[in-house]
Amino acid sequence: MVIVLDAGFGEQARDGQPLFPNLTTPVEVPHGFEYQQDNVVIWAISRDDRPSEAYADGSHGLFTWASIGALRGWADGELSGERDGKVTFGEAQAYTDRLTRSLGRATHTTMDDRPEVQDWILDQGEHLEPGPNAKELAELNLSDFTRTVTDTRTQLESQASNDWREILRLTEASKQSSSNEGDAATTGQDPEAIKTAIQEFIERYSDVSFSVERAVYVDQVREAHRVLATLESAGTEAALAESTTAQCSDLTLLEGPAMLGKLSQEQSECLDSRIVTERLQTKKDKISRVLLVNAEASGATGEWERLMHRHLEEIDRSDPDLCMRYAVFIFKNDRENLEEVIRWADYAMGNKQIWRSDEFVKKVNGLLRLRSEAAQLLWTGAERIYRKDSNEENAALAELYRGWAKSYSREWLDYARAAKQPTKTAFEMCAAAAGSMDYCKDGT
């Protein structure tokens, strides 16, 4: 039996406020749990006076949300690195602790290290689902941090507002007493006391600030636990062989699995970490390309998009093939960002000279067409908006995009003529944007 206990033993509620404001005798905090039976485990958020924290984004207490996720399958493979369709109690404990720390929360959940308990299977089957990936955890962490900062600031501002209202109330009461009685002191409203309260308010809130403490999860700790476990069971040599950190240091060993989309999650995360810590841009480029190849081969479209965006924005954008591929991807999958299609097509055009002669014409013609079609869609979309709402801003935007469509389609048409490529579509697009076929005729 596993008893999941999302409750603290201190005097604070989940919102940080005291549970018993008028309590004068401190609550005695228990020191651990006494296990009365071998088949009973109490799995709790803590054994001390730390409160049970809320997690607004999960609509639960933090420990409840994390432990439920672990049992849904997120913890599968947490200890071994390989999912096997089972969630053991050891995996659930380790994953819950890692998950909460990955969100920036320094929880100290109870850990039962009895081997027989660690191996208890809590759930198994095909219904188990994977948990949040590294990108999603980073987004959850940022959301939680932003909410914490906002809530803390709101509480501080509310406290200051309440304190000031109390001072104003006392001041007003003093004025009324002085008017009615002639002596504020006889009513308990001492002007000097009010003056002191105002000075204290100014001193307290003039330079007020706050800090937010966040935990940082170091992923190598999980790797260290795995290596240590292997050390204990199979010796140093086997442990080092199992270390994914060691494996990801040699890119040549990972290129083959990456081409098949077979990099493990740990290997991918290890490479991701190397990109952050690597100083040489050339090495960052090589690592990033291995991850890109793996994401594409495994069919992880969303991950490929994330990696490609990072590669081009942060690592290197001198490869015209990568810029062109990203432009095509955005054109096919994200019609809300057509300006980005033109942007990355322009970057590709800027380095087109590195293409071989046997592929140069085809690729340049394709880029010019892609840019023209993106501009055409921007223009026609802006025209539709303008017809529904004929204001100056919409008119200006429609005219801007029309100019792009006209200019880009004419450039494509001129290149297609010079390179002896088909010109029918380019001519039609040029004439539509220009409003006249004369503008697009050869020699004009």
Q: Is the dihedral of CA 368, 373, 374, 375 positive or negative?
A: positive
Question: Does a structural domain hold residue 187?
Answer: no
Partners of 87 in the beta sheet? 123
Please indicate, yes or no, if residue 327 is contained in any of the structural domains.
no
Instruction: Express each pLDDT in 147-160 by its tens digit.
Output: 888 888 988 999 99
Is residue 186 included in any domain, yes or no?
no
**Residue 138 falls inside a structural domain:** no
Closest to 271 measured CA to CA, from 286, 256, 261, 257: 286
Number of domains forming the structure of the chain: 5
Q: d(Cα 102, Cα 96) in Å, to the nearest integer?
A: 10
Domain that holds residue 164: 148-175+194-209
Q: How far apart, in whole angstroms, are the C-alpha atoms of residue 136 and residue 425?
A: 42
The Cα 27–Cα 25 span in angstroms is 7
Q: What does the DSSP 8-state code read for residue 29?
A: P
d(CA 37, CA 392) in angstroms, rounded, equals 77
Angle at 46 between CA 40 and CA 51, to 5 degrees: 135
What are the tens digits of pLDDT across the range 254-296?
A: 888 899 999 988 889 889 888 888 888 888 999 999 999 999 9
Quickly state the pLDDT bin for 135 (edges 50, 70, 90).
confident
Domain match, 353 and 442 both: yes
Query: 294-320 burial, b if ≥16 CB within 10 A, otherwise e?
Result: bbbbbebeebbbbbbebbbeebebebb
Residue 329 covered by a domain: no
- Evaluate whether residue 58 is within a structural domain: yes
H or E, element range at 86: strand 86-88
Confidence class of residue 10 from pLDDT cuts 50, 70 and 90? Answer: low
Report residue 9's pLDDT band, with 50, 70 and 90 as the boundaries.
low
Q: Would you tell me how many other CB atoms lie within 10 Å of the CB of residue 284?
A: 20
Query: Cα–Cα–Cα angle for 288, 293, 299, nearest 5°?
Result: 125
Reported as a single tens digit per residue, the pLDDT across 174-191 is: 777 666 555 444 445 678
120 is a domain residue: yes
End-to-end CA separation in angstroms for the chain:
85
**Nearest Cα residue to 112 out of 217, 29, 5:** 5
Tell me the per-residue pLDDT of 268-278, one tens digit each, with 9 for 90 and over: 988 988 888 88
Q: How many CB atoms lie within 10 A of CB 157?
A: 12
What is the C-alpha to C-alpha distance for residues 241 and 102, in angstroms, rounded to an integer?
27
185 occurs within a structural domain:
no
Query: Residues 210-229: what's their mean pLDDT?
Result: 72
User: Residue 45 — φ and ψ, nearest 5°?
Assistant: -65, -30
Question: Is residue 245 over pLDDT 90?
Answer: no
Question: Same domain, yes or no, for 101 and 7?
Answer: yes
d(CA 93, CA 4): 11
What was the pLDDT predicted at 364?
Answer: 96
Q: Are residues 375 and 286 in the same domain?
A: no
How far apart, in whole angstroms, are the C-alpha atoms of residue 335 and residue 373? 11
Average pLDDT over the chain reads 83
Joined together, the tokens standing for residue 177 give: 């007493």
Tokens of 26: 């401190």
Same domain, 62 and 154: no
Q: Could you tell me if 18 and 117 lie in one domain?
A: yes
Whether residue 343 sits in one domain with residue 423: yes
Q: Judge if 256 and 342 occupy the same domain.
A: no
Two tokens at 189?
A: 């409203």
